[in-house]
Amino acid sequence: MTGSADQRMAKLYFYYASMNAGKSTNLLQVDFNYRERGMQTMLYTAAVHDRSGFGVIDSRIGVQASAHSYDGETDLRAQIEAELKKRLLGCVLVDEAQFLTRPQVLQLASVCDELDIPVLAYGLRTDFQGNLFEGSGALLALADALIELKAVCECGRKATMNLRVDEEGRAVKRGAQTEIGGNDRYIALCRPLHGAPQSRRGAAAVEAEVRAPALEWVHVPKKWEPLSRVAMPPGRWRPNPGDCAP
85: in domain = yes
Among the candidates 128, 149, 170, a domain finishes at 149
Based on the domain organization, do 104 and 190 belong to the same domain? no
CATH code (residue 144): 3.40.50.300
Contact (Cβ atoms closer than 8 angstroms) between residue 217 and residue 237: yes
Number of domains in the chain: 2
2: in domain = no
Single-letter amino acid code for the residue at 21: A
Contact (Cβ atoms closer than 8 angstroms) between residue 117 and residue 91: yes
Among the candidates 119, 149, 179, a domain finishes at 149
Write down the catalytic residue from 36, 73, 81, 96: 96
97: in domain = yes
Based on the domain organization, do 112 and 166 belong to the same domain? no
Based on the domain organization, do 55 and 142 belong to the same domain? yes
Among the candidates 149, 178, 197, a domain finishes at 149
96 is catalytic: yes
Based on the domain organization, do 109 and 86 belong to the same domain? yes
203: in domain = yes
Single-letter amino acid code for the residue at 129: Q
Burial tier of 116 (Cβ tally within 10 Å: 0-12, 13-18, 19+)? middle
223: in domain = yes
3: in domain = no
- What pLDDT is stored for residue 178 in this prediction? 55
Among 141, 123, 109, which residue's Cα sits nearest to residue 10?
109
- Give the domain extent around 100: 8-149
Buried b (16+ CB within 10 A) or exposed e, 3-26: eeeeeeebebbbbbbbbbbbbbbb
Based on the domain organization, do 24 and 139 belong to the same domain? yes
Based on the domain organization, do 109 and 15 belong to the same domain? yes
Among 138, 154, 145, 111, which residue's Cα sits nearest to residue 19?
154
Based on the domain organization, do 53 and 132 belong to the same domain? yes
Based on the domain organization, do 131 and 26 belong to the same domain? yes
pLDDT in tens, the chain (246 residues): 444 445 668 999 999 998 878 888 999 999 999 999 999 999 999 988 666 656 788 787 778 899 999 999 999 999 999 999 999 999 999 999 999 999 999 999 999 999 999 999 999 998 877 789 999 999 999 999 999 998 888 788 888 888 877 666 666 565 555 555 555 567 788 877 777 653 334 444 444 444 444 333 334 343 433 433 334 344 444 445 455 544
Based on the domain organization, do 140 and 194 belong to the same domain? no
Based on the domain organization, do 173 and 145 belong to the same domain? no
